[in-house]
Amino acid sequence: MSIKVVYFASLKELLGHSETLLPTPTSTVSVIDIWQQANPDLTIPSNTLAAVNMEYVDLSHSVIDNDEVAFFPPVTGG
């Protein structure tokens, strides 16, 4: 089983890819833990937004098997 991690906009450009699959962890993990596992050499940029299964969540939100975790920069408009 796995967790799908998806990146949008400037995060996709920064990382050089739009998604990755992580094996399901054996213990409880949060969204920020997923970022750190997927990007061990990169601190999450400030103001990064996250969603789990297409719903906005806090970075401390728990992630389980088969979840999709998405990261994207804040959206601005005008």
Query: Tell me: the pLDDT tens digits for 32-65?
Result: 999 999 999 999 999 999 999 999 999 999 999 9
Pair 48, 71: CB distance under 8 Å: yes
Higher model confidence: residue 7 or residue 26? 7
25: pLDDT strictly greater than 90: no
The domain limits of the chain are 2-72
Q: What is the pLDDT of residue 27?
A: 87
Whose tokens are 């408009």? That residue is 77
Q: What is the pLDDT of residue 77?
A: 62
The Cα-based distances of 58 to 27, 31, 50, 55 in angstroms read 19, 8, 7, 10
Q: Which residues contact 7 (CB under 8 A, 6 or more apart)?
A: 15, 17, 18, 19, 70, 71, 72
Q: Which fold would CATH assign to domain 2-72?
A: Ubiquitin-like (UB roll) (3.10.20)
